[in-house]
Structure 1
Amino acid sequence: MIDLAALQTTQAVAALAGLAALLLLESAHPFFELFRARRERSRHLVRNLVLGAINSVIVAVVFAGLWVAAAVWAEARGLGLLNAVGLPPWAHALGAVLALDAWTYAWHRMNHRVPFLWRFHRVHHSDAQMDVTTASRFHTGEIVLSSLLRLPLIVALGVYAWELVLYETLMFAVVQFHHANVALPPRVEAVVNKVIVTPTMHKVHHSRWQPETDSNYSAMLSVWDRLFRSFRQRERPDEIRLGLDACDDDAFQSVAGMLRTPFAHATPPAPPRRTPHRNNPHTGDVA
């Protein structure tokens, strides 16, 4: 019998340990020089983590119990795709992780395509000082919407509660890693990004140049971007400009400002669809 409480504790400890380790690594070997002073970095850290803490409390109080109840209800009745095909436990768990990661890719891509969703998601992209704390910087509205959609997804797939916690633990560890202000050596990067999303790969996604913003949607496994032709690389990642042009004002960076962002008219309701011109100085290859 899987100890769900122990898994949830492990998830929390892993998240805190990952945050601490990556903050230290960013301090020792930053890829970008993002902050002029320690105070500026501390303010950025506190803002992002306060928003992340608000979201974590809402998920823990409102949605975690609902997710477990949905998973238990579906399991007791043999509902869901994974239960219908009669997989052994290891294959069921692997299928759950892959299916949940595919959904996360699809949801992320929708957040860039649907004007209403982009209003909330742009809070995440408005961070021009992207580091490991940006992994926690999501508007509460986006978290609530994604959490609600998890309920029918859990039932439709037949995901067990412990599989959901396992996926969340693995996924968030990779999300913290690829938001960190670090980079892998080029040869290591070329291998690792064949499997998981890397910091260099995700920096492209946080570029101000729209064709790059609309690429590299994967959260954990990078295969989805290659499979659905949204993978993009940059020959000179050190030239990437992070953030959103219309959200640089400090009014959009405070916790209150981030919460107000979806209701402000700082940017168009959705990013325009544009095709890169061959003479554009930004370089990238779409798989």
Structure 2
Amino acid sequence: MSAIDLFGLLVPITYLVMLAIERLIPARQFPDIPYWRLRGFCFLTVQGLLATLTPLLIPEAWLERHRLMDLTGLGVAAGAVLGYVVLSLVNYGWHRSAHTFPLMWRLFHQIHHSPQRMDMSGAALFHPLETVAFFAIASVVTTLVLGLDPVAAAATGYIAAFYGYFQHMNVRTPQWLGFIIQRPEAHCIHHQRDVHAYNYGDLPIWDMLLGTFRNPASFAGAVGFDKPATDRLGAMLGFADVNQPAAGQNNLGRRPNAIG
């Protein structure tokens, strides 16, 4: 097994380990959702399939031939660190845009904010179109722009997956950790019902610099959409804005005065 394949295998293993941990020591109570864990596994499976199909749309060999920089000399460790820092900034821009522009919210991101739970089963719950966008952005940043070693690029992807999963875990974490990486309590603020704002970055430094940082000691509020919008999974997969008309035209699932 190659190192690249190993990083790919570590993603579902990490998901399962984190899922087991939060079941042993859950921190917050959320409403029960029928077949919730099954839904999480289904979306995780879709992510795995799309991870293998996306390179067919954007071949890595083409990206390598046209790379803007050649940072293969950094090696795996330094390349992965640099790759993740740069990717996290780009993802901040993508994420905040998905909360700002109604079309991006409807096509890509609203489904992730719809559940009334914040835990590992929702960590992989993304619209397939946004999942493809995530993989494409990561490939463009690590291979086309930075020109990283392929193993470093794979490591960057794993780090992004690790932190993406971690911030969704239903566990308690110390507040000081939120100044280093986004912790679950801070990400609950991002998913808070009728707000869906703040804490867009996996690395808090970007939220600190751009005025969207919140780091609560704990979280005990509600997340997701109100009913019936939260249950309209099929409609969201079909790109319908499930909060219309009750919430008004171009509703972004958050208060109008929240930072977008």
TM bucket, shorter chain: 0.7 to 0.9
Equivalent residue, structure 1, for 2:211: 229
Alignment of 1:44 onto 2:21: no
Alignment of 1:110 onto 2:93: no
State the shift of 1:87 in Å. Answer: 5.9
The whole-number CA distance in structure 2 between the counterparts of 1:59 and 1:126 is 23
Larger Rg: 1
Distance change (3 Å), C-alpha of 1:102 and 1:113: same
TM-score w.r.t. the length of structure 1 is 0.75
The whole-number CA distance in structure 1 between the counterparts of 2:6 and 2:217 is 43
Amino acid at match of 2:198: S
State the shift of 1:200 in Å. Answer: 0.6
Distance change (3 Å), C-alpha of 1:15 and 1:274: same
Distance change (3 Å), C-alpha of 1:145 and 1:236: closer
State the shift of 1:181 in Å. Answer: 2.1
The counterpart of 1:130, out of the listed 115, 118, 124, is: 118
Percent identity (aligned): 22
State the shift of 1:106 in Å. Answer: 1.4
State the shift of 1:197 in Å. Answer: 0.6
The counterpart of 1:192, out of the listed 158, 169, 177, is: 177
Equivalent residue, structure 2, for 1:217: 200
Alignment of 1:9 onto 2:6: no
Equivalent residue, structure 2, for 1:144: 132
The whole-number CA distance in structure 2 between the counterparts of 1:109 and 1:179 is 18
The whole-number CA distance in structure 2 between the counterparts of 1:160 and 1:125 is 34
TM-score w.r.t. the length of structure 2 is 0.82
State the shift of 1:199 in Å. Answer: 0.8
Equivalent residue, structure 1, for 2:147: 158
Distance change (3 Å), C-alpha of 1:22 and 1:164: farther
State the shift of 1:270 in Å. Answer: 4.7
State the shift of 1:234 in Å. Answer: 4.5
What RMSD, in angstroms, separates the aligned Cα atoms of the two structures? 2.9
State the shift of 1:230 in Å. Answer: 0.9
The whole-number CA distance in structure 2 between the counterparts of 1:223 and 1:248 is 33
The whole-number CA distance in structure 2 between the counterparts of 1:107 and 1:67 is 22
Given that 1:110 and 1:117 are in contact with CA atoms closer than 8 Å, whether structure 2 keeps it comes out as: yes
Given that 1:197 and 1:222 are in contact with CA atoms closer than 8 Å, whether structure 2 keeps it comes out as: yes
Alignment of 1:93 onto 2:90: no
Given that 1:14 and 1:169 are in contact with CA atoms closer than 8 Å, whether structure 2 keeps it comes out as: no
The whole-number CA distance in structure 1 between the counterparts of 2:68 and 2:46 is 32
Given that 1:19 and 1:176 are in contact with CA atoms closer than 8 Å, whether structure 2 keeps it comes out as: no
Deviations 1:46-82 (A, max 9, x none): 12321232232122233378464355435xxxx3346
State the shift of 1:22 in Å. Answer: 2.8
Distance change (3 Å), C-alpha of 1:143 and 1:248: same
The counterpart of 1:73, out of the listed 65, 69, 82, is: 65
Deviations 1:191-237 (A, max 9, x none): 11111110110000001233xx2210012x22111121111244762
Amino acid at match of 1:214: A
Amino acid at match of 2:121: T
Distance change (3 Å), C-alpha of 1:148 and 1:270: farther
Given that 1:130 and 1:181 are in contact with CA atoms closer than 8 Å, whether structure 2 keeps it comes out as: yes
Please show how residues 55-74 of structure 1 align to structure 2 within 5 Å.
55-63=47-55, 66=58, 68-70=60-62, 72-74=64-66
Q: Figure out how many residues of one structure are paired with residues of the other and give that number.
A: 250
State the shift of 1:118 in Å. Answer: 0.2
Equivalent residue, structure 1, for 2:189: 204
State the shift of 1:269 in Å. Answer: 3.1
Distance change (3 Å), C-alpha of 1:245 and 1:50: same
Alignment of 1:121 onto 2:109: yes
1:237 is paired with a residue whose SS is coil
Given that 1:133 and 1:176 are in contact with CA atoms closer than 8 Å, whether structure 2 keeps it comes out as: no
